[in-house]
């Protein structure tokens, strides 16, 4: 990931805070700050498919986040001091989680459509749609995954031996 040309060229990067069953992102987040890039993380809104990407001030900033009922760390709902990526300069790159992927770039998420809805919002931003990279285990690569009309394909899937 760290050597990937899209990562190297990106200044504003969104990345998920990994759950135990996902590719661990902590070292990538540390490198984003080490390289002087800007880091944004998801804040999911329960009972909707709305998600914002909010700016982290440092890797240590993660320890100030709240744990949701889904066991995901994220900025609290009343945290209005953080920049939302689309109110500023948009995003260059989004690292995406998922449960399964196929080699055509289709992604099976957790069923709420948060990333698809967010990418639709990105397409309306002046900076346009960011490049998307899914981070996966080799075992998550399938022949095909079910897709719906509003599912947005990822640009690239990185996994072991890819």
DSSP state letter for 69: T
Residue 37 annotated in ligand binding: no
Residue 111 annotated in ligand binding: yes
Question: Which tokens is 85 given?
Answer: 């990526």
Question: Which tokens is 150 given?
Answer: 């509003």
Residue 109 annotated in ligand binding: yes
Residue 149 annotated in ligand binding: no
Residue 100 annotated in ligand binding: no
Task: Indicate the burial class of 162 (C-beta count within 10 angstroms; 0-12, 13-18, 19 or more).
Answer: exposed
3-state helix, strand, coil in the chain (%, to 5): 20, 25, 55
Residue 82 annotated in ligand binding: no
> CB-side exposure of 11: number of CA atoms within 13 Å?
4
- Which residues make up each annotated binding site for substrate? 17, 22
- Which residues make up each annotated binding site? 17, 22, 107-115
- Which residues make up each annotated binding site for ATP? 107-115
């Amino acid at each position: 990931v760290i050597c990937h040309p899209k990562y190297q060229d990106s200044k504003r990067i969104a990345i998920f805070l990994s759950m135990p069953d996902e590719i661990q992102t902590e070292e990538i987040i540390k490198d984003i700050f080490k390289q002087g890039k800007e880091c944004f993380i998801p804040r999911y809104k329960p009972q909707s498919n709305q998600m914002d990407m909010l700016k982290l001030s440092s890797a240590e900033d993660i320890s100030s986040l709240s744990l949701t009922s889904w066991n995901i760390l994220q900025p609290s709902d009343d945290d209005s001091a953080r920049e939302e990526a689309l109110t500023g300069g948009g995003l260059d790159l989004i690292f995406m989680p998922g449960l399964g992927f196929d080699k055509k770039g289709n992604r099976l998420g957790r069923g709420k459509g948060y990333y698809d809805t967010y990418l639709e919002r990105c397409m309306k931003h002046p900076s346009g749609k960011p490049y998307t990279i899914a981070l996966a285990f080799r075992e998550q690569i399938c022949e095909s995954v079910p897709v719906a009309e509003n599912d947005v394909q990822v640009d690239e899937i990185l996994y072991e031996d890819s």
